[in-house]
């Protein structure tokens, strides 16, 4: 019984100490072997107790050895894990930016360089900022051009159909000269296809100062396309927007080098990338800017379109599916 107490109190922290303990008690010439050999010399009356005590000692010794062994294994593992503070960390999987963000940042950067600041506004808009202030009074047929998602009627609350609404807000709160671009998400009730989606992103620009002309607009467009695409073969097609007069649509000549170029440009090599024009005097008046003193130009483009060209993405829906195999391909771009 004394021996059992000794066994239970035993402590060891190395492999060698544990092994010495095992040999001492359980080895082929160990204490237990010796004591079991004594068994036959024990009085018949005491055999039962003696035998039980021996078994207890044997069990206690075996348990001790395996417990010590287990503790030692655990601490070896722990040391391997925490021991070397200079070892490199488990690699952390890096994410990637979404192509829409990459292209948006590029556009912002190009316009920052010529003095445009970034302005933002709410995605849920009122009628005034999305339509009326932009020279689209109620019942104006041009409202149909923008298939609007209404949230409430009377007074109208809606998901903005373009970020021109941000520019109205900017004009209300700032005095010319104004040079701002408004990137953001916009919403239109359109059928979803390879070329169109009901949610997409725009960057719209506004420049107001004395003596701003259409030539300034065209020069800015040439600068932008050159910086953004490395080429600036563009054409301006006369168009109509209620908030600009005259208005134009800008096409870029992209060429037909790849299958995707062919699909995106419908086989023409040309792709419409934005709308633009000289800010209508009514829009300036609505924002309390004197149209006899100031003039300006405005433009608006879809970020998806531009990203599709740059990264050869044939279907706009790929931007919103969050397929990791698609997103991972932008890891190298920051
Ligand atoms: N707001 C127009 C649209 O969303 C784009 C545009 C902006 C056109 C500025 C002309 C001038 O389609």
CA-based nearest residue to 7, from 36, 28, 32? 32
d(CA 306, CA 290): 35
Atom of ligand 1 nearest to the CA of 297: 11
Q: What is the pLDDT of residue 262?
A: 87
Q: Which residue has its alpha carbon closest to ligand 1 atom 10?
A: 276
Asked if residue 10 has pLDDT above 80, the reply is yes
For all residues of the chain together, what is the average pLDDT? 90
Average pLDDT, integer, range 241-269: 90
Atom of ligand 1 nearest to the CA of 161: 4
Residue 233 CB partners (closer than 8 Å, separation 6+): 252, 253
299 lines ligand 1 (CB under 6 A): yes
Atom of ligand 1 nearest to the CA of 299: 9
Cα angle, residue 153 at apex, residues 150 and 156 outer, rounded to 5°: 75
* Mutational pocket test of ligand 1: of 201, 251, 298, the residue with most ligand atoms within 8 Å of the beta carbon: 298
Between 142 and 203, the higher pLDDT residue: 203
Backbone angles phi, psi at 175, to 5 degrees: -100, 150
Asked if residue 78 has pLDDT above 80, the reply is no
Q: What is the DSSP pairing of strand 270-279 with strand 178-187?
A: unpaired
Q: Which two tokens stand for residue 327?
A: 């997103």
Q: Which two tokens stand for residue 13?
A: 């922290």
Indicate the range of 44-53, 193-202, 216-225 predicted with least confidence.
44-53
Q: Which residue has its alpha carbon closest to ligand 1 atom 4?
A: 162
204 lines ligand 1 (CB under 6 A): yes
Indicate the range of 34-43, 209-218, 290-299 predicted with least confidence.
34-43
3-state secondary structure of 171: helix
Between 71 and 100, the higher pLDDT residue: 100
Give DSSP secondary structure letters for 102-141.
HHHHHHHHHHHTTTPEE----SEEEHHHHTGGGT--TT-G
d(CA 58, CA 231): 88
Q: Which residue has its alpha carbon closest to ligand 1 atom 2?
A: 300
8 A C-beta contact, residue 298 and residue 243: yes
Per-residue model confidence as pLDDT tens digits over 35-77: 888 888 888 888 888 888 889 989 999 999 999 888 888 887 7
User: If you search the block for the tokens 């932009």, which residue do you land on?
Assistant: 134
Asked if residue 334 has pLDDT above 70, the reply is no
Is the ipTM here above 0.90? yes
Asked if residue 169 has pLDDT above 80, the reply is yes
Per-residue model confidence as pLDDT tens digits over 107-164: 999 999 999 999 999 999 999 999 999 998 887 776 766 788 999 888 889 999 999 9
Q: What is the pLDDT of residue 75?
A: 80
Indicate the range of 85-94, 188-197, 294-303 predicted with least confidence.
85-94
Q: Which residue has its alpha carbon closest to ligand 1 atom 5?
A: 300
165 lines ligand 1 (CB under 6 A): no
241 lines ligand 1 (CB under 6 A): yes
How much distance in Å is there from the Cα of 276 to the middle of ligand 1? 6
Q: Name residue 126's beta-bridge partners.
A: 157
Q: Name residue 159's beta-bridge partners.
A: 124
Q: What is the pLDDT of residue 291?
A: 96
165 pLDDT band, cuts 50/70/90, is very high
Q: Which two tokens stand for residue 132?
A: 């009326």
Q: Which residue has its alpha carbon closest to ligand 1 atom 8?
A: 275
Asked if residue 82 has pLDDT above 80, the reply is no
Q: What is the pLDDT of residue 81?
A: 67
d(CA 104, CA 324): 20
């Amino acid at each position: 019984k004394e021996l059992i107490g000794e066994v239970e109190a035993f402590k060891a922290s190395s492999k060698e100490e544990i092994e010495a303990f095992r040999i001492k008690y359980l080895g082929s010439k160990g204490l237990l072997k010796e004591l079991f050999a004594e068994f036959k010399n024990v009085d018949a009356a005491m055999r039962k107790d003696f035998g039980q005590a021996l078994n207890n000692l044997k069990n206690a010794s075996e348990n001790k050895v395996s417990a010590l062994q287990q503790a030692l294994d655990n601490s070896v593992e722990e040391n391997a894990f925490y021991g070397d503070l200079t070892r490199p960390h488990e690699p952390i999987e890096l994410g990637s930016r979404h192509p829409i963000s990459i292209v948006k940042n590029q556009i912002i950067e190009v316009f920052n360089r010529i003095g445009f600041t970034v302005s933002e506004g709410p995605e849920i808009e009122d009628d005034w900022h999305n339509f009326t202030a932009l020279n689209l009074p109620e019942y104006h047929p041009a409202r149909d051009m923008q298939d609007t998602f209404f949230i409430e009627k009377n007074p109208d609350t809606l998901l903005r159909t373009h970020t021109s609404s941000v520019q109205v807000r900017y004009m209300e709160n700032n005095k010319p000269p104004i040079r701002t671009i408004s990137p953001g998400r916009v919403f239109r009730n359109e059928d979803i296809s390879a070329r169109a989606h009901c949610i997409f992103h725009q960057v719209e620009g506004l420049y107001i100062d004395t003596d701003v002309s259409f030539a300034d607009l065209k020069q800015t467009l040439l600068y932008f396309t050159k910086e953004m695409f490395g080429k600036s073969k563009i054409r301006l097609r006369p168009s109509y927007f209620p908030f600009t007069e005259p208005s134009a649509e800008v096409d870029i000549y992209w060429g037909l080098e790849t299958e995707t170029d062919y699909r995106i440009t419908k086989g023409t090599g040309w792709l419409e990338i934005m709308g633009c024009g000289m800010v209508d005097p009514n829009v300036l008046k609505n924002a309390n800017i004197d149209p006899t003193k100031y003039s300006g130009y405005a433009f608006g483009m879809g970020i998806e379109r531009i990203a599709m060209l740059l990264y050869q993405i044939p279907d706009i829906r790929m931007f919103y599916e969050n397929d990791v195999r698609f997103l991972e391909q932008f890891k190298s771009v920051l």
